[in-house]
Copies of this chain bind each other. A is one copy, B any other.
Amino acid sequence: MPVTGRIVIDDIRPRASEPGFPAKAVIGEAVPVRAVIFKDGHDVLAARVQLYAEGRSAPESVAALATAANDLWTGTIVADRVGRHQLVVQAWTDRHASWKKRVLAKLDAGQDLSVEVEEGIELLARSVRDAAGVPRPEVEQAAAALADVTLDPVERLRPALTRQVADALAGPDGAPDLTVAPPKPLWVDRERALVGAWYELFPRSYGGFKGTEERVVQIGQLAFDVVYLPPIHPIGVTHRKGRDNTLGAGPDDPGSPWAIGAADGGHTAIDAGLGSLEDFVHLRETVEANGMELALDYALQCSPDHPWVHEHPEWFHHRPDGSIAYAENPPKRYQDIYPLNFWPARDEDRVALWRACRDILEHWIGLGVRLYRVDNPHTKPFAFWEWLIPSVQSRHPDVVFLAEAFTRPRVMEKLAEVGFSQSYTYFTWRTERDGEEGLWAYMEELTEGRAADFSRPNFWPNTPDILSGPLRNGSPAAFALRFLLAATLSPSYGVYSGYELYENEPASETNEEYLHSEKYEIRHRDFDRPGTLAPLMASVNRIRRSHPALQRLRNLHLLATDNPEIFAYAKVSDDGTDALIVAVTLDPLGVQESMVHLDLAALGLPGDRPFPVVDLLSGERFAWSGPAAFVRLEPWWRVGHIFDLRSEAPNRPPVTAP
């Protein structure tokens, strides 16, 4: 049975859906904390939240909670250290405020106050005993003043308690009903777990690691934050897939990088065609020298030629004839891949396999890689991730895991709950503003829904597997607007190489993959040709870096527009000094106009006079006034605005024109 304290403290957030799992935050993030707090009777309560880094006895930070109505108390707390934390909410009777409330009510009713004066003196005396910091003369002076005010009005009572004494009485020290709620776990990541612009490329299309370095310099100029590589390991030859996912690869077909493992080695080896270990390390250093970070793919499956197939047949599924089963989701077949059996019959085999999977990560972590995009995590047991991720992060708390999952909502939620730092999302298929499947409802779900305290989105308009919606045979405007949405709605987003070149040919009318998918062949691209999306990418990425408002998710405020083809939203930084409004057309083909409706007070804007705004994309300046602004978007040259509402504030970053 639970044990309720003297004061009830319930429904503490942030929290996961199931008890015991941690909520998530990043360093420096203003984390909203709330709890339902009340007590029997009529006393005035006070409450606070303390944040403890695991293993430390002194709190890392403390914040007061305040209540507006319905027993809901709120505040914000900020962590400044990576790792596991505990949120501890405490509540107690504010003896000073309770006493004052009684005194004021009786004063108003003209009732006798002699008992309350006696109580006030006793409270003061107790504060002398409790709070060593209160100098005795001040207390005696206050007590003397109190004794004089028997029937005086409130104005004479108020100074009777000095600020210092009042503070002592208002605080938790010595409060006989101080109640401490059971700690709620909070995992604190470095900021990259929440914020980052990802760029995915296949290094073999650039001639391997060495050739990729040149491309990395260009990507750095586009102000991306992460360069992510699909698997870089030896690729199997047995049942290797040919171009366009065909059976029977030709001798020059490179195969899918996700068919991991060959005679040269498995998940810790490097495909010889890409370069050496030294080349890899040099590439990582080049990525970092260009202001970015390298991310690798963590894909727990094997080609039939992977060394584990021979060394550890017990880690695979076996058919009745003894052969190892390739991956199937009937009628689909993946003959070039053996799935691992994460729950073999013998428990020591399970333990050995799980440890081997962790060793792979330890290998690459040892080589300086701290970001992992995890392939198909929802096809492995949740219990495995629940063990693996904390096990790795307890030793390397700066490691970030991105879940490549586009599966059912509760499965997505569970992956976040058991430890994934962030996840791919349904953004790719959210192309309208309204309706159950619209962007509005989806952004509300992500920012306020049941998983909002522990899941973080990473918005990808495309991936090597997914060419969807308006991008299929789409115009450059379609690519521009989907990019702008992804990069400004979510603090983490990513694109797969070729996006800036408007690559738009689907594999077929019903297939979401690309024609001539780079998964099965080498692609050569001309990134230097005129008219690409690169300038917009560079502008938006630079704006993202210089505007903290775009580096948070929960600060999203959706704005009403009269035209459903225009999607508009505001973001305000935690400290209020940065405030942006983004308006994007959802129509890549025609002109759209709309009024955008603003909550002036919430955005810190004046209601009684015009105010200046600057479009950070075009450099244009506008004077707005009142609670609505007009927007006209012609997609062939402008798919959206990013309006800076604090353009005249001191120390603002300069306007960035493309």
Contacts and interface: CB of A to CB of B under 8 A. Distances in A.
Copies of this protein in the complex: 2
A71 B411 contact: yes
Contacts of A121: 320
Given A118-B319, A414-B8, A381 B19 contact: no
B106 A331 contact: yes
Contacts of A383: 3-6
A2 B17 contact: no
Nearest to A122: B320
Contact of A6 (B109, B118, B343, B345): B343
B330 A408 contact: no
A115 to B, nearest CB: 5
Interface string A100-139: 0110011011010001001101100000000000000000
Contact of A118 (B38, B320, B330, B345): B320
A42 B376 CA distance: 13
Contacts of A330: 101-102, 105-106, 109, 111
A177 interface: yes
A649 interface: no
Contact of A382 (B11, B17, B40, B102): B40
Contact of A343 (B18, B19, B177, B321): B177
Nearest to A102: B330
A41 interface: yes
Interface string A588-605: 000000000000000000
Nearest to A321: B118
A597 B259 CA distance: 59
Contact of A21 (B2, B106, B410): B2
A108 B331 contact: yes
A548 to B, nearest CB: 33
Contacts of A507: none
A569 to B, nearest CB: 27
Contacts of A6: 343, 381, 383
A320 B176 CA distance: 17
Contacts of A10: 17-18, 410, 414
A102 to B, nearest CB: 5
A1 interface: yes
A398 interface: no
A246 interface: no
Q: Which of A2, A6, A345, A390 has the most CB of B within 10 A?
A: A2
A378 B411 contact: no
A8 B382 CA distance: 7
Interface in A140-184: 176-177
A573 B41 CA distance: 41
Contact of A36 (B8, B21, B321, B410): B410
Contact of A408 (B70, B102, B119): B70
A162 to B, nearest CB: 21
A19 B16 CA distance: 13
Contacts of A321: 115, 118
Interface string A360-399: 0000000000000000001111110010001000000000
A36 B18 CA distance: 12
A409 interface: yes
Nearest to A411: B38
A329 B42 CA distance: 7
Nearest to A329: B42
A20 interface: yes
Contacts of A642: none
Interface in A473-519: none
A2 B386 CA distance: 9
Interface string A28-60: 000000001011111000000000000000000
A23 interface: no
Contacts of A408: 38, 70-71
Given A10-B17, A70-B409, 13 more contacts: A1-B390, A4-B383, A8-B414, A10-B414, A11-B18, A19-B19, A38-B411, A42-B329, A106-B330, A108-B331, A118-B320, A122-B320, A176-B345
23 contacts: A1-B20, A1-B386, A2-B20, A2-B21, A4-B383, A4-B386, A6-B381, A10-B414, A11-B17, A11-B18, A36-B410, A39-B381, A40-B379, A40-B380, A40-B382, A70-B409, A106-B330, A106-B331, A111-B330, A111-B331, A118-B320, A121-B320, A122-B320
Which 3 pairs between the two chains have the least Cβ-Cβ distance?
A: A109-B331, A105-B330, A118-B320
